[in-house]
Structure 1
Amino acid sequence: MNEKFFNLLLFLHILGGSIGLLCGLLVFILKKGTSRHANLGRLFILGMLLTGITAQLMAFIRPNAFLFMVGVFTIYQVGTGARAIYSKSFRAQHSIDRFLQFGMVIAGLSLIYLGIKKLWVGDLFGIVFVVFAGIGLLMALQDIRSTAIPHDKKAYIRKHLQRLGGGFIASATAFLVVNFRELPDWMPVWTLWLLPTALLYPLISYHSRKYPPKSVGS
């Protein structure tokens, strides 16, 4: 029963990831603000959330810290990015927002613990866990404190772009790391971890700069 259920989760995980990555790539490329952009964005969010949720379930059935980490980041970044555009607010104080924040804090602390354990036995991959957990905890802290942080009328759009873009980068990184294990001798493995960020972060920054800070009263 567990084997069949796991295989079903794996199928849904791959399906959601495929939909999310394809739609996410199109969202990056195509013109923003159109109905096509909005529809592709919804599919992207649904695909990424499906991928994140199934990753968590699979990591629970067959303990896998890497899968757990990817699931946590996908759910949090895509979830908070979707909430920002849905509520049209940088503020993150709804019960859904609090649930996401609580989950990220618990998961982040757990990942730091796992990372330190790996480093203690000489496994340098623990650095990845600590770094990702640190980034996640900083985002959660920013969201927890969002009611006290000055922001502007365009802040929610930038948050939407940056969080969904970050979710796409995390999923693209996981896809490369899982599917491209045999690399040429001249290509270090850390290249796969950095390639999506190097290619996509400039695009996220470019689109974010289209929405410069604007005070609420102006």
Structure 2
Amino acid sequence: MRVLVASRNEKKLKELNRVLDNAGVTGIELVSLRDVAEYPETPETGADFVDNARIKTADGVRHSGLVTIADDSGISVDELRGMPGVLSARWSGVHGDDAANNRLLLGQLSDTPDERRGAHYVSVCVMELPQEIAVAAGMDTVNVAEGRWEGRIAREEQGVGGFGYDPLFLPDEEPGKSVAQLSAERKDELSHRGKALAKLVPLLERLSRLETA
């Protein structure tokens, strides 16, 4: 069964593929927005991560007819009362400018002592099914999974891997290392998105059986 991952970020597609491979799920072909006919995308104006992910999945199902998975994720910093949160990707004012976002966050925390630099990543993954597939599979049309990753914000960027705020986020499980210094496999094991995606695996496994039944 073809499943649309409503993103152009190839790293997200690879991450879900690794999660499925590790779980031994076969029969699911993941495709990205680059692999389907282009369609108009609704602006992500949701008040929270769930709203934004559901905007993306609704577009995907409506225009492609495929089961669609989308995630909305971000970082919440204790000292900033949970911000950037849903604004993480455009914290500096330009969507997707990781370098500018990281510079701004470091500047905002420049005088913050280590004991007050706590933060956590949040990922909300939504999988939406076309009505006929949901009925055939005996599943809800909209399925929501959330993952959270605790850590703190470094005083400078560390490592060159990952994306977003990864060079600044020091996970609790790996003292002294940023996410950008972890292997892809270790990141999958620990990350907010990996945790959320793992919760969708049983549903994707059910869909793979439906296709071959």
Measured against the shorter chain, the TM-score band is: under 0.3
Higher strand share: 2
TM-score, normalised by the number of residues in structure 1? 0.27
TM-score, normalised by the number of residues in structure 2? 0.28
